[in-house]
Amino acid sequence: MELPANIDAVYYDAFAPEKQPEMWNEEIIDKLYSSMAPGGTLTTYCAKGVIRRRLQSAGFTVERLPGPANGKREILRATRAV
């Protein structure tokens, strides 16, 4: 997977980890982190604990935020340290 350097924002809208596990592995999360600019933000509808911990393990600071009004309870926002 080739990514440009210094990405400011990523909206990660992969299918759930159970449906598309290859999109949620450590290698991809680490690659996203290393490609992000300091202060860059990744958001995702996936709020599963395993994904939150995986993002944290890569180095992101992760926050749970209220989901949209369509009934999704939470989303995640992951930020690369400045």
Q: What is the pTM of this model?
A: 0.92
Q: Please spell the DSSP secondary structure of 18-80, one letter per residue.
A: TT-GGGSSHHHHHHHHHHEEEEEEEEES---HHHHHHHHHHT-EEEEEE--TTS--EEEEEE-
| Domain hosting residue 60, numbered range | 7-79
Please report the pLDDT score of residue 1 as a whole number. 75
Per the structure, the count of domains in the chain is 1
Please report the pLDDT score of residue 12 as a whole number. 95
Please report the pLDDT score of residue 14 as a whole number. 84
Please report the pLDDT score of residue 45 as a whole number. 93
Please report the pLDDT score of residue 33 as a whole number. 98
CATH number of the domain residue 32 falls in:
3.40.50.150
Sites in the chain below the pLDDT cut of 50 = none
Please report the pLDDT score of residue 81 as a whole number. 93
Q: For residue 34, tell me if it sits in a domain.
A: yes
Q: For residue 51, tell me if it sits in a domain.
A: yes
Q: For residue 2, tell me if it sits in a domain.
A: no
